[in-house]
Amino acid sequence: MTAAPDPAQLFDVLPVPAAVLSPDAVFVTVNRAYQRMSGRSRDELVGRSLFTIFLGGSSGHGAGELRASLDRVLAEGRTDVMATRCFALEAPGRPGVLQERYWSTLNAPMLSPDGEVTGIVHCVAEITPRSGAPAAADGRAAETEPRAPAREPHELNAGLRHAYTEERRTVRALRQAMERQRQAVSDTSHDLRAPITGLLTRLEAALADPAADPREALRAALRDVERLGDIVADLLELARLDGDVQLPAEPVDLARLVETDLAHRTPVIVLNVRLQPGVVVNGSSVRLARLLGNLMANAERHAGSRVEVTVAADGDHAVLQVSDDGPGIPAPEREEVFRRFYRRHDARHRDPAGTGLGLPIAREIARAHGGSLNIADTASGTRMVLRLPLHASSTAQAAAEVPPQDAKTNAAPPREHDGDA
């Protein structure tokens, strides 16, 4: 008989940085993700107060607000979600040198059978900008190189003006990022709280009754972990797109991209496919494959009986369309579905575990490739239209107006599409 997974090991491999704190905010244990995030080993954290690690940052408010959050959890016995805050951490191996870091934090109570808070689960998501130098203990930038010789006044003035402009741009970008993160925390607090609460409940039940067979609880806990992993993966991809993290670009044939996706997809409905060969764009094949996968998943989720995929050239643009014969999206909501974490009522009913991030990620990928993703008018159902600039090598071929090649993929007999796609 195979031994059931150890709940402690399950906690250790969670993809979310998490720690268990005592009621007086002392580290009881931390998982691997938390160690990587903090740059410290378990031995360096366990037994130390949280507030000897997380200081107040340049505003001086981060630690105080974190303490207030923990106090609310202790007093009310309920999960508390903090918006993004700045903290200062001593750089590992560099005593006296502080680094400012930005975290969104979730603190959840661990309750005894009589409802007493016996500990706090402390989960964090880091959004620290990639730019910026460490700060010294007195708040000034740490000096890592020898001072340069004095320069002429006009050179210094030009340098100061440039530095001031860059600072304003950085502050503006940081404020926008923090506002997006505050909105993200507000919108996802319920989505994150549900699997975390379920996971904590199951782990506590397994620990409280070691004689019981914990396999069913652990299976449910694994489902919660998978959901958390999906949310974290989507958030990380959005963070990369927001941070303009570039992936290697290459010529990508959209027809081949569709064929590859369909080859790995188990058909559950009729798929009508019309592909024009030689429609090539320049970009990341990984991200474009994710964009297509998100559009296909959305279409299959809402389709009544069939989905249609087309690829064609239109002037100097490549056009990929994914249409379904589902209930469609009312015109007033066509932009709303691209808002992060927005989910229509029918989407929640069809897929309760969805994150509401698939279409926003797809649009951000389109924009990162200099293109657009919108919902077009159609007689019935929904038609998603992706437009991307053609790669230079395919412009001439597209101008020759090579006719699309029809391909139909599904075990069931395909029917004519009743839309205008």
Q: Which residues pair with 321 in a beta bridge?
A: 310, 385
DSSP 340-360: TT---HHHHHH-TT--S-HHH
Q: What is the C-alpha separation between 55 and 63, in angstroms, rounded? A: 6
- Which residues, including other chains, have CB under 8 Å from residue 212's CB and lie 6 or more apart? 205, 206
Q: Which of 200-204, 349-353, 397-401 has the lowest mean pLDDT?
A: 397-401
Q: Check residues 162 and 231 and name the one with the higher pLDDT.
A: 231
Q: Say if residue 414's pLDDT is above 60.
A: no
Contact between residue 188 and residue 195 where contact means Cβ atoms under 8 Å apart: no
The label of the residue with tokens 């880091």 reads 126
Q: Which of 9-23, 174-188, 259-273 has the lowest mean pLDDT?
A: 174-188
End-to-end CA distance of the chain: 55
Instruction: Compute, in degrees rounded to 10, the torsion defined by CA atoms 401, 405, 406, 410.
Output: -140
DSSP state of 110: E
Which letter, b or e, does each residue of 248-277 get, where b requires 16 or more Cβ atoms within 10 Å of its Cβ? eeeebbbbebbeeebeeeeeebbbbbbbbb
pTM above 0.75, yes or no: no
Confidence label for 131 from pLDDT (cuts 50, 70 and 90): very low
What confidence tens digit (pLDDT) does each residue in 164-188 have? 677 677 777 777 767 766 766 665 6
What confidence tens digit (pLDDT) does each residue in 45-101 have? 899 888 777 665 444 566 778 888 899 999 988 888 887 777 767 666 676 677 777
Q: Which of 40-49, 180-189, 312-321 has the lowest mean pLDDT?
A: 180-189
Question: Which pLDDT value is given to residue 136?
Answer: 39
Share of the chain above pLDDT 90, in %: 24
Q: Tokens standing for 187?
A: 């919108």
Share of the chain above pLDDT 70, in %: 71
Q: What is the C-alpha separation between 383 and 363, in angstroms, rounded? A: 14
